[in-house]
Each structure stands twice: as structure tokens, then as C-alpha cells.
Structure 1
């Protein structure tokens, strides 16, 4: 009996420290920042801390707000690929687009697409790398509060 408990405890500890993201249960999981239910596969985001804590967000701007207020080091930061909803990509492999035609859940008009497949379709869109996006949004205080 003790051997079984020890085995289960080891499995639990190994899984709880994993730095791999767990799938988002759309329509069930709540955003860790604003508490809204995550429903739109085109705008979601996720983080995993160095210690394995999972966080899920209904919008990229919620993830940015959460990161802004955090001192925790993140091992993984992923965003939904707007051109392939539900597919998550690393923030380092994304191009971030701000355009009035984008209806992101929190109103920042923000989406991400895979850098490899991105083709500019409109001249009125502002595009950013992850670091440039953080600098732009946090400096201008233009993300929705």
C-alpha cells in the first residue's frame, strides 16, 4: 500500500512540474487574469512557469497584463495562431498584429500569426515581434485595463 502511494506521489510531482502546456478546454477553462471563460481559439494564450505552474488566457493582452504584474520566470509563453485557430505557437515564432478589423476579446485589436506563414494582407496593420509588442503596449498603456 505504501509503495503504491509513493508511486502515485512521484507521478503527481513529475507531472505537476512539467513545463509542457496542457490543452485549453475551450468553453470550460477560465482566463487566469480576467476570469472570463476562454471560448475563442483564435486569441487564447498560455504560460508555464519555470516551476511548472500553468496559466491560460482568453486574450494575448490578458497574458501581457499578468506577466507585467509577475516576478515569476516563464519557461513557456504561447499564443493562438490567428490563421490556424486552436494551434498554439511560441511567442518567439509569432508576428503580432494590431488592426481595427481584429475583434480580440479584451478590445486591444490584437492577434498573433506564425512568422513562417505570415503574409501582409493590409497596409493599415501594425506588426510587432514579441519584445516590440511588450514595449509598445506597456509604454503606451494601450492595452485594455
Structure 2
């Protein structure tokens, strides 16, 4: 009996520490940074710590600013919604970003993320704007 309890306890411990994204409950959850309700499936984002704590954001710019303000936290996953696949979280470090005044985002930075480079380029040719990679977009948002 004691062995069974030990096995069950270990199973609970290992599953409770799993590091991974959580689905965003649109219209129900608030942004960790600005506290607005998360409703936009094209611009939401998430940070997940190396211990599995999930932080959700209504806009990519909120996530970037939160991450910049919390450098002591160790983030395992940095995720953004793919503009062309609303609600689908992708790795922010591999996304291409478009800042275009013709595509508004919830907090006004006009920032959208794309999982495929040519999608971002096509949107840029249709809507104008400036393209960035992950390393470029962080200081751009932080200074604006």
C-alpha cells in the first residue's frame, strides 16, 4: 500500500511541474502586464517559466515589456500568436514581426507576429510597415 501511495505521489509531482503553454481563455483572462481582458486571438502571447508558471498577455508588446521588466525570471518558453492562424501559439524567437500602422494591435504598437517569413513579407507588401526578427523587435518595443 505504501508503495502505491509513493508511486501516485511521484506521478502527481512530475505532471504538476510540466513546462508547457496553456490555452488562453479569450474573454475570460486578463493580461499580466496591462490587466486588460485578452480577446484578440491574433495578437495574444504567453511566457512560461522554467518551473512551469504561465503568464498571458493581450498583446505582444505587453509580453515584451513584462519580460524586459522581469529579467530575473527564467523564461523557458516565449510564445506569440501567429497572425495568420489566430489562437495558435508559436515560438516567438523564430517568428517574424511586422509593425504596420494599417494593422492595429490591442495596445497600439501595431505589432503582429508571423510564423512563416514569406507571410510577413506578403503582409508588408499589402499593408506597408517594417519587418523585425525577435532580437530586433525587443529593443524597438522597449524604446517606444
Q: Which category of TM-score, normalised to the shorter sequence, fits these structures?
A: 0.7 to 0.9
1:115 shift after superposition: 2.5
TM-score normalised by length of structure 2? 0.85
- Structure-2 change in CA distance of 1:11 and 1:125 (3 Å): same
Asked if the contact 2:26–2:39 (Cα under 8 Å) also holds between the matched residues in 1, the reply is yes
The more displaced of 80-89 and 15-24 is 15-24
The more displaced of 117-126 and 99-108 is 117-126
Q: Deviations over 1:57-80 (max 9, x none)?
A: 000011011101111111001100
Asked if the contact 1:16–1:53 (Cα under 8 Å) also holds between the matched residues in 2, the reply is no
Q: Which residue of 2 aligns with 1:122?
A: 124
Q: Which residue of 1 aligns with 2:105?
A: 104
Q: Which residue of 2 aligns with 1:113?
A: 114
1:100 shift after superposition: 0.3
How far, CA to CA, are the matches of 2:11 and 2:38 in structure 1? 29
- Structure-2 change in CA distance of 1:8 and 1:29 (3 Å): farther
How far, CA to CA, are the matches of 1:127 and 1:43 in structure 2? 16
1:8 shift after superposition: 6.2
How far, CA to CA, are the matches of 2:3 and 2:107 in structure 1? 49
How far, CA to CA, are the matches of 1:15 and 1:32 in structure 2? 24
Q: Which residue of 2 aligns with 1:16?
A: 16
How far, CA to CA, are the matches of 2:91 and 2:33 in structure 1? 19
TM-score normalised by length of structure 1? 0.85
Higher fraction of helix: 2
- Structure-2 change in CA distance of 1:44 and 1:4 (3 Å): farther
1:12 shift after superposition: 4.5
How far, CA to CA, are the matches of 2:138 and 2:51 in structure 1? 23
Q: Which residue of 1 aligns with 2:141?
A: 137
How far, CA to CA, are the matches of 2:6 and 2:51 in structure 1? 21
How far, CA to CA, are the matches of 2:25 and 2:64 in structure 1? 21
How far, CA to CA, are the matches of 2:27 and 2:43 in structure 1? 13
